[in-house]
Amino acid sequence: MELSRDYLDEIYAFAVELGKQAGKMLLDGAKLRMGGGGPEEKGHVQKENAVDLVTQTDEDVEAFIKGEVMKKYPSHKFVGEESYSKGSSRDYLIDDSPTWCIDPLDGTVNYIHLFPMFCVSIAFIHNSKPLIGVIHAPFLNQLFSSCYGRGAWLNEHQPLPLVQNPVPPLPVNAPSGCVFSCEWGKDRRDQPDGNLHRKVESFVNMAAEIGGRQGRGGMVHGVRSLGSATLDLAYVAMGAFDIWWEGGCWEWDVAAGIAILQEAGGLITNANPPEDHVTAPIEEVRLGSRLYLAIRPAGPSSTETGRESQERTVREVWRRVRKLDYSRPGA
């Protein structure tokens, strides 16, 4: 089944509207916990109840989005983080059907602590490819959106990446000069060769001076950790982060971000380095792989195409990172 241009545009407009409303629900939920109004109006939710309130908001936002989608597009499939977590199956649920894949609240820890890096994430997928992405971070007043063939946007008017005419290539000595985005994640087991230690070893390789770490030092320009995979991807699409490397994500964490990144001209591939990182083909990542490496949109230089500078950067990252151990049933 092919989707017409008009049909896709209609879905896009609908998804953006959903994202705006869902983001407002998140912000309203956050304001319930803030002081400043009368004690009856705001700030009356005690800290011990904050986690319950967050769970409730999370569920309410997913129910709202699911209800609206099912009403407007009853034939589409719906995969939501909350419904999935409560279900008994851990199977991979994305197939070739028109599918909505949403995370009502990404950056849950941030939301609990009222750190502004939280968002709602809405993706529309067809033939297993994310075609539309909407990411709304309401506390930051940032709405990222994209539709296949229509470009990627910040707040509906600013094209992504932010730097255009031309889009700059990756630095010639990347990862040096790059902002590197990574997350510590939830797997904190102190096992000698566990994911925590593999991640940290990789981070240190990327950060250390050139010549350090037995030649693996990448001397990146900066290391950033925001606590939201979705916003990490949005900032790579923006060009603010050059490289994002992460393991352990689920489809709803990344589907909208991948749509936006790809429409902006970014590259997304596998986080785990192949046996031969120098010559292995650089393939588009399969949604569901749980292991992601994203490179920002890049334009040509006098010696390389943008894609060539992205692929060069991928290989330089692969040379410095360890394989992570995450799997996905059924993907």
Positions touching a copy of itself (CB under 8 A) are: 33-36, 39, 43-44, 46-47, 50, 109-110, 112-116, 140-142, 157-159, 161-165, 168, 179, 184, 188-190, 196, 200, 203-204, 207-209, 211-213, 217, 219, 221-227, 235, 238-242
Between 19 and 217, whose beta carbon lies closer to a copy of itself? 217
Q: Which is nearer to a copy of itself, 262 or 309 (CB)?
A: 309
Nearer to a copy of itself, 23 or 130 (CB): 23
Q: Are strands 243-247 and 179-181 parallel, antiparallel or unpaired?
A: parallel
- DSSP result, 238-301: HTS-SEEEEES--HHHHHHHHHHHHHHT-EEE-SSPPSSTTTS--PPPPTT-SEEEEE------
Q: How many CB atoms lie within 10 A of CB 225?
A: 14
Q: How far apart (Å, rounded) are the C-alpha atoms in residues 154 and 132? A: 14
Spatial CB neighbours of 190, under 8 Å, sequence gap ≥ 6: 196, 197
Q: How far is the CB of 330 from a copy of itself (least distance, A)?
A: 28
Q: How far is the CB of 320 from a copy of itself (least distance, A)?
A: 13
Given the complex with a copy of itself, which of 3 and 219 has the nearer CB atom? 219
The CA distance from 281 to 40, in Å, is 60
Long-range contacts (CB closer than 8 Å, 24 or more residues apart) made by 280-283:
282/311, 282/314, 282/315
Phi/psi of residue 78, each to 5°?
-135, 125
Instruction: Kindly give the pairing relationship between strand 99-106 and strand 267-269.
Output: unpaired
- Determine how many CB atoms are found less than 10 A away from the CB of residue 286: 14
In the complex, the smallest distance separating the C-beta of residue 147 from a copy of itself, rounded to whole angstroms, is 18
Q: Report in angstroms how near the CB of residue 100 gets to a copy of itself at its nearest.
A: 28
Q: CB nearer to a copy of itself: give 62 or 242.
A: 242
> Which lies closer to a copy of itself via its Cβ, residue 36 or residue 329?
36
Q: How far is the CB of 205 from a copy of itself (least distance, A)?
A: 10
Residue 75 Cβ, how far from a copy of itself at the closest point, in Å?
37
Shortest distance, position 226 Cβ to a copy of itself, whole Å: 7
| R_g of the chain, CA atoms, integer Å | 20
Closest to a copy of itself by CB, 41 or 283: 41
Nearer Cβ to a copy of itself (7/184)? 184
Residue 211 CB, shortest distance to a copy of itself, in Å, is 8
DSSP 63-102: HHHHHHHHHH-TTSEEEEHHHHHHSS-------SS-EEEE
